[in-house]
Amino acid sequence: MSTELVIKDLHVSVEDQPIIKGLNLSVKQGEVHALMGPNGSGKSTLANALMGNPFYTIDSGEITIGGVDILELEPNERAKLGLFLAFQYPTAIPGVSMANFLRMAVSAVRSEDSNGSDTTELIPMREFRRELRAKMKQLGVDESFARRYLNDGFSGGEKKRAEVLQLAMLEPKIAILDETDSGLDIDAVRIVGESVNQLIGPNLGVLIITHYPRLLNYIRPQFIHILLDGRVVESGGWELAELLEEKGYDPIREAHGLTEVVVEPEVEEALPSLRA
Residue 259 pLDDT more than 90?
Answer: no
In this prediction, residue 270 carries a pLDDT of 43
In this prediction, residue 273 carries a pLDDT of 41
Q: For residue range 188-242, what is the model confidence (pLDDT) as tens digits?
A: 899 999 999 999 999 999 999 988 788 898 999 999 999 999 999 999 999 998 8
Distance of alpha carbon 150 from alpha carbon 208, whole angstroms: 23
In this prediction, residue 113 carries a pLDDT of 67
**pTM confidence score:** 0.90
Residue 243 pLDDT more than 60?
Answer: yes
Instruction: Return residue ranges of the chain for CATH 3.40.50.300.
Output: 84-172
Residue 266 pLDDT more than 90?
Answer: no
Q: For residue range 154-188, what is the model confidence (pLDDT) as tens digits?
A: 999 999 999 999 999 999 999 999 988 888 888 88
**The CATH fold of domain 84-172:** Rossmann fold (3.40.50)
Band (pLDDT 50/70/90 cuts) for residue 258 is confident
In this prediction, residue 263 carries a pLDDT of 59
Q: For residue range 30-67, what is the model confidence (pLDDT) as tens digits?
A: 999 999 998 888 999 999 999 999 999 999 999 999 99
